[in-house]
Amino acid sequence: MDIARTPATPDGNPEMADAAVAPKDFVSIRREDYMPFPWLVPQVAMDFALGLDETRVVTTLTVERNPAAEASKTIRLNGDEIVPVEVTVDGEGWSDWCMDGDDLLVTLPGAAHTIAVTTHIAPAANTKLMGLYASDGMLCTQCEAEGFRRIAFFPDRPDVLSTYRVRMSGDREAFPVLLCNGNLEAEGEDGEAHWAEWHDPWPKPSYLFALVAGQLVANSDSFTTMGGREVALNIWVRDGDLPRTGHAMESLKKSMKWDEEVFGREYDLDLFNIVAVSDFNMGAMENKGLNVFNTKYVLADEETATDGDFDGIEAVIAHEYFHNWSGNRVTCRDWFQLSLKEGFTVLRDQLFSQDMGSAPVKRIEDVRILRGVQFPEDSGPLAHPIRPDSYQEISNFYTSTIYNKGAEVIRMMRTMAGPERFRAGTDLYFERHDGEAATCEDFVRAMEDGAGLDLKQFRLWYAQAGTPKVTARLEHSGDTATLHLSQHVPATPGQPDKKPMPIPLKLALYDRDSRERGAEQLVVLDGEELTLGYPGFATRPVLSINRGFSAPIVVEREVSSDELVFLATHDDDPFARYEALQELVVRHLKAGASGTLSAEARQEGELAVADAMAAVLADSDLDDLMRGELLLLPSETYVAETMERADPAVIHAERQGLRASLARALETEFLALYERAAAVPFAMSAEAKGARKVKTQALAYLAAAFPDRAAEMAFAQYASADNMTDRQGALMVLTGLDVVERTNALIDFYNRYQGNALVIDKWFALQASSMHPHCLEHVRALADHRDFTLKNPNRVRSLYMAFAANPHAFHAADGEGYRMIADLILALDPINPQTASRFVPPLGRWRRIEPGRSALMKAQLERLAAADLSRDTAEQVSRSLG
């Protein structure tokens, strides 16, 4: 499953510990308490009589005692807001059952039985968007993690694997298309109704069940697997959306081919369906043979989608398809193993995207997301290992730590093993555990045996939370350079003391005079300290460390500004070059934010950054995609995370001041870059995409120093744009300026795209993430707009998540931004707790903010804690305060 991705900040930067305080009286689920379920459920048959207001479901379970589990005469069938209408056992009415809260307990006398339970559910009233619900007249399901229990009584846990046969019937006009997992075996008509029967031959957990019924049309194609089998492909959407599905289909076929070539994984059914749904809590869901997607990650054309949207669709399509093996064929034993499938699959989709586009740019983008979302999670009250020991609400477990850090941990194994040995390890993993519910330990053991790695100590990455800090100190004496490395893993909730972890570091030394680089070396720092000697350097060399971001750590190094400028200009590792420039800027901004920076030191710092930026602008060997990454200033959120207690207003002022200073110093260069990029005609090539990227970035720099001129340029770009990337980029610049062109462009944009929900989401998000001085007031007004609704997660995220990720507005000195998010949580929680709970973490950063704002943030959390909240939201609030 792909979690809903964090909205971008105005410059394009993306923004569970076993905590001490448990929310209210909710019970903690502990990993150490895992026991196999006492009953196997090898077969499930379901009969759906479909209706928007009421759907009748008859679920028949074939059950038998599990010889690997402790015997029990009672089978617990989980439920959530459903009641049994009828219960039969072996075809006979049955009275030996009772309810235990939401769960149905049935007592069975023998070793094997057939249990049938009838339930009635109300899809149209299901605002939680979990289980079976209605979306714009269509019926669809979302069952991960525990949504299936809202459809039928069942042992709703990932280690109960069953084959499913499903019969669906409904009004032919309302539900002309009937879809389910697996292969279609039969269909027919019965008066005004029609029916379809589906069979999925592959055993799966209940969270992978899917059903869709509604008025849909398909973009159909096919793919021939490496084994010669032809697979029918369909992307189902609303009729008017069909022209915008071509990119998604091409992305699917590329994913299938790539997975065969790189991981040796072939698709295993005769049919693969994707359905686009407008109401969806997540990004997409990998249900076996029937992926359900948020429309955001399916629909695209040049007029309505940006280059970033195209890339996102390709990545998410790949992610869900890759789950067919890393998640479906091999699934999780329990939810503590969630990173087994998600971390591994994120790595697979990252490697795919690297191969489809620019590998260096993709790596930098992935690291930026990790630092913008996961690093703050790792250093705050919600910190947890990628395989935690306990949780209260499973939906809060879908975190950047599980997904992004989980991917980095497996990437480190790949770095240590190399691609060929890593492939041998994954082949062994799939061979050993195909058709099973596995654990993270199973994966690590397969890597040890297949890739030949010793991962005994490496297992600490699964058990310990927190981002390791590595200190690097380089000494030079005579002709020898000596590198001293040390590591420290900070304390996190429930884990005050940490052991050293194996940290693979790619590093190299540069001769300052000749600019020649020594051989790149992979060093594993597996203790608290390590000293390395490098002879043959007559003068002090320059250290390039954590090249390619070989480990998800924070590097603290003694390095001069001159050395950072050298690396930002000459390092041949793209990430290391990017890192040097980021570090140079962060150092300057932190010094400015400290309030102790003299005028002379400020001028020297600005000059150093300008020199590095000038080299980036002048480097003819750089492609514009990479140039665009190097030109991005670190986000305000990232700068704040490098400080013990941050003042968001001061950081904002410093960052905007530096941007304006760079624009004045490099005005001629930015204008030349803009003119050159503007002359590149529209295409989907890397060259054209890079030109669009740097064109808007140049405009954003110029706007900081020359707002009136930039407004004219931006409005001209907006008016003449022949694609959404250019139009949105121009509008992004305009929304941050207090000029008449801003109003005119916003009105035109709304009128031009009114009725296209995904584009109107952009309209909301651009205003909520803007640098405009009255952004907070704009957000308050947009909440009353006729197109805003709390019932659609995309619309809620487009306005409020974009706002919460905008430090300039969210951290208003009077605390009004905090109150606004708390008000939203209170209003949204009764409607959609899963979405509401995701707005708590921004308030949970209160310990890292200066005292005045910190007290205001904490007060809003305490206000929330006093309310009657869902388990989802209560857990997040309690941990944030705890």
Residues 372-394 have pLDDT tens digits of: 999 999 999 999 999 999 999 99
> Do 350 and 473 fall within a single domain?
no
The predicted structure's pLDDT at residue 7: 42
Domain of 430? 333-463
The predicted structure's pLDDT at residue 291: 98
The predicted structure's pLDDT at residue 5: 62
Label residue 25 by pLDDT band (50, 70, 90).
low
Label residue 89 by pLDDT band (50, 70, 90).
very high
- What average pLDDT does this structure show over 210-230? 98
Q: What is the mean pLDDT of the chain?
A: 96
598, part of any domain: no
The answer on pLDDT for 417 being more than 50 is: yes
Label residue 14 by pLDDT band (50, 70, 90).
very low
The predicted structure's pLDDT at residue 15: 28
Label residue 687 by pLDDT band (50, 70, 90).
very high
CA angle 89, 111, 106 (to 5 degrees): 40
pLDDT (tens digit per residue) in 248-260: 999 999 999 999 9
* 551, 573, 602 - which closes a domain: 551
Residue-level length of the chain: 882
> Do 878 and 862 fall within a single domain?
yes
286, part of any domain: no
The answer on pLDDT for 20 being more than 60 is: no
Amino acid making up residue 628 = G
Closest Cα partner for 142 from 290, 343, 15?
290
What CATH number should be reported for the domain holding residue 793?
1.25.50.10
Label residue 17 by pLDDT band (50, 70, 90).
very low
The answer on pLDDT for 8 being more than 70 is: no
The answer to whether 511 and 541 are in contact (CB under 8 A) is yes
- What average pLDDT does this structure show over 221-249? 98
DSSP conformation letters of 769-806: T---TTHHHHHHHHTTSTT--TT-HHHHIIIIIHHHT-
538, part of any domain: yes
> Do 443 and 488 fall within a single domain?
no
> Do 498 and 518 fall within a single domain?
yes
Closest Cα partner for 269 from 247, 246, 290?
290
pLDDT (tens digit per residue) in 124-135: 999 999 999 999
Whole-angstrom Cα distance, residue 659 to residue 409?
Answer: 35
- Residue 73 phi, psi dihedral angles, 5° rounding: -80, -15
List the structure tokens of 71: 């015997």
The answer on pLDDT for 496 being more than 50 is: yes
The answer on pLDDT for 16 being more than 90 is: no
The answer on pLDDT for 615 being more than 80 is: yes
3-state helix/strand/coil string of 77-123: EECCCCCEEEEEECCEECCCEEEECCEEEEECCCCEEEEEEEEEECH
Label residue 23 by pLDDT band (50, 70, 90).
very low
The predicted structure's pLDDT at residue 12: 37
pLDDT (tens digit per residue) in 346-375: 999 999 999 999 999 999 999 999 999 999
List the structure tokens of 94: 């049955």
Closest Cα partner for 796 from 831, 749, 753?
831
The answer on pLDDT for 298 being more than 80 is: yes
502, part of any domain: yes
Provide the annotated active-site residues. Answer: 320
3-state helix/strand/coil string of 177-208: EEEECCEEEEEEEECCEEEEEEEEEEEECHHH
* 536, 551, 566 - which closes a domain: 551
The answer to whether 474 and 455 are in contact (CB under 8 A) is no
Residues 6 or more apart from 663 whose CB is under 8 A from it? 670, 701, 702, 704, 705, 706
The answer on pLDDT for 228 being more than 90 is: yes
Which segments of 519-581 are extended strands (E)? 521-525, 529-535, 542-545, 554-557
The predicted structure's pLDDT at residue 583: 98
The predicted structure's pLDDT at residue 11: 38
Residues 6 or more apart from 170 whose CB is under 8 A from it? 48, 49, 50, 51, 178, 193, 194, 195, 213
The answer on pLDDT for 22 being more than 60 is: no
> Do 459 and 534 fall within a single domain?
no
> Do 84 and 174 fall within a single domain?
yes
> Do 59 and 170 fall within a single domain?
yes
Whole-angstrom Cα distance, residue 403 to residue 405?
Answer: 6
pLDDT (tens digit per residue) in 641-668: 999 999 999 999 999 999 999 999 999 9
- What average pLDDT does this structure show over 81-96? 98
pLDDT (tens digit per residue) in 54-64: 999 999 999 99
> Do 182 and 44 fall within a single domain?
yes
Label residue 26 by pLDDT band (50, 70, 90).
confident
- Residue 860 phi, psi dihedral angles, 5° rounding: -70, -35
Label residue 596 by pLDDT band (50, 70, 90).
confident
Distances (CA, A) of 715 to 640, 740, 753: 32, 10, 17
pLDDT (tens digit per residue) in 147-206: 999 999 999 999 999 999 999 999 999 999 999 999 999 999 999 999 999 999 999 999
Q: How many separate domains does the chain show?
A: 4
> Do 46 and 174 fall within a single domain?
yes
Whole-angstrom Cα distance, residue 21 to residue 339?
Answer: 24
CA angle 833, 834, 840 (to 5 degrees): 85
CA angle 79, 84, 86 (to 5 degrees): 145
pLDDT (tens digit per residue) in 545-575: 999 999 999 999 999 999 999 999 999 999 9
> Do 427 and 354 fall within a single domain?
yes
Whole-angstrom Cα distance, residue 782 to residue 760?
Answer: 12
Amino acid making up residue 259 = D
> Do 443 and 493 fall within a single domain?
no
CB atoms within 10 A of CB 448: 17
Sheet arrangement for strand 97-100? 74-77, 103-107, 97-100
Residues 6 or more apart from 757 whose CB is under 8 A from it? 278, 295, 792, 794, 795
The answer on pLDDT for 13 being more than 70 is: no
Distances (CA, A) of 536 to 376, 475, 511, 818: 41, 13, 10, 57
> Do 491 and 350 fall within a single domain?
no
Whole-angstrom Cα distance, residue 309 to residue 470?
Answer: 35
